[in-house]
Amino acid sequence: MSNRIRLALQKSGRLSEDSFDLLARSGIKIRRHRDQLFCHSENFPIDVLLVRDDDIPALIMEQVCDFGIVGLNVLQEASLAQNAQDFTDRVDMIHKLNFGFCRLSVAVPRDFEYKSVNDLAHKSIATTYPHLLQNFLDKENIQAKSIGLTGSIEIAPRLGIADAICDLVSTGGTLEANHLKEVQTILHSQALLIKAKPALDRDKQKTADLFIRRIQGVLLASESKYIMLHAPKDKLKQIVAILPGVEHPTLMTLEGDPDKIGVHAVCGESVFWETLEALKEAGASSILVMPVEKMMM
């Protein structure tokens, strides 16, 4: 019985590079060839299927692949397009991945006088996300016409095809260039690691657990910082309380300086300049903050 698991990734697009980068940071080497749909890792029992992002939820649902990386926007649209219960029975969301950030928003021409969502009543809205849009309109109790388009949504109002659009936005540059303004956010999205829910056989499950631990380790490490400082003994409690996300710091005696103590800790949250200033204010000195490369709890 093979212990190899199969991962579906976007072949080429906004999620591809970050997805491969995440695998590389997890120590998983993948040799990619141009135009190849299937590639293998030499140092981890994983095979990668390269597809369009829209196909990834179905590949997981049908257990063609064990894992996938896809935007929440695509996942939720797919879920609403199916029987939602059936979908949640078959697809598990494992982790947010901290890349592919965007939002699904309604935008209208700049001269459209928009005061509230009620202004969308009886309007036509062009989108590639008809289910997410309809779900939003239903919740808001708005009757509007959804027009399904597959690309270049942002030019629909200028062509007279629709009054408004519902599309992904990240910087807002595309809306700006097309004289549109964002008026309503429907969904905040980022890339997710998803998994087929049904149980795997024992050997594959071992690989799957190892894979998830690797990904978690990378995410944990990228959010964490290692901090070292010297603290006056009588200020120790106060200084440790300032360290973000630290429960059990390591304390060390300092040779030749009996009034101070060395503090080493992994901060599970961001360490800002303001944190360093607060530490200094509280009496800390020789403060050093370093990135964490790998982590396993």
71 scored as a contact of ligand PRT (CB under 6 A) = yes
Which three-class secondary structure state does DSSP give residue 131?
helix
Q: Using CA atoms, how far apart are residues 116 and 126, in angstroms rounded to an integer?
A: 19
Q: Provide the edge-to-edge strand list for the sheet that holds 102-109.
A: 145-148, 124-127, 164-169, 102-109, 180-189
User: Which residues partner with 260 through β-bridges?
Assistant: 232
Q: Using CA atoms, how far apart are residues 61 and 78, in angstroms rounded to an integer?
A: 10
Using the minimum distance from each CB to Zn ion, give the nearer residue, 53 or 167: 53
Which three-class secondary structure state does DSSP give residue 115?
coil
Size of the site for ligand PRT (CB under 6 A): 21
Q: Phi and psi at residue 163, in whole multiples of 5°? A: -85, -30
Q: Using CA atoms, how far apart are residues 226 and 293, in angstroms rounded to an integer?
A: 10
Using the minimum distance from each CB to ligand PRT, give the nearer residue, 5 or 132: 132
Using the minimum distance from each CB to Zn ion, give the nearer residue, 65 or 144: 65
Q: Phi and psi at residue 188, in whole multiples of 5°? A: -95, 130
Residue type, 198: P
Q: Using CA atoms, how far apart are residues 81 and 76, in angstroms rounded to an integer?
A: 8
The one among 28, 59, 78, 102 contacting ligand PRT by CB under 6 A: 102
74 scored as a contact of ligand PRT (CB under 6 A) = yes
Stretch that binds ligand PRT, among 12-20, 29-37, 206-214, 287-295 (CB under 6 A): 12-20
52 scored as a contact of ligand PRT (CB under 6 A) = yes
Note whether 265 and 227 are within 8 A (CB): yes
Could you tell me the smallest distance in angstroms from the CB atom of residue 177 to ligand PRT? 8
Chain residues binding Zn ion by CB under 5 A are: 53-54
194 scored as a contact of ligand PRT (CB under 6 A) = no
State the greatest distance between any 2 C-alpha atoms of the chain, in Å, as a whole number: 79
Using the minimum distance from each CB to Zn ion, give the nearer residue, 151 or 173: 151
The one among 5, 6, 10, 215 contacting ligand PRT by CB under 6 A: 10
Could you tell me the smallest distance in angstroms from the CB atom of residue 71 to Zn ion? 9
Q: Using CA atoms, how far apart are residues 42 and 180, in angstroms rounded to an integer?
A: 48
DSSP run (H or E) holding 263: strand 260-267
Q: Which two tokens stand for residue 36?
A: 């190849």
Measured between alpha carbons, how far apart are the two ends of the chain, in Å? Answer: 30
Could you tell me the smallest distance in angstroms from the CB atom of residue 297 to ligand PRT? 29
Using the minimum distance from each CB to ligand PRT, give the nearer residue, 57 or 217: 57
Using the minimum distance from each CB to ligand PRT, give the nearer residue, 215 or 267: 215
168 scored as a contact of ligand PRT (CB under 6 A) = yes
Residue nearest to ligand PRT (CB): 71
Which three-class secondary structure state does DSSP give residue 82?
coil
Using the minimum distance from each CB to ligand PRT, give the nearer residue, 45 or 157: 157
The one among 9, 107, 167, 221 contacting ligand PRT by CB under 6 A: 167
Using the minimum distance from each CB to ligand PRT, give the nearer residue, 66 or 167: 167
User: Which residues partner with 247 through β-bridges?
Assistant: none
158 scored as a contact of ligand PRT (CB under 6 A) = no
Residue 149 near which of Zn ion, ligand PRT, none (CB within 5-8 Å, type-dependent): none
172 scored as a contact of ligand PRT (CB under 6 A) = yes
Give residues in contact with ligand PRT (CB under 6 A): 10, 13-15, 52-54, 71, 73-74, 100, 102, 167-174, 189
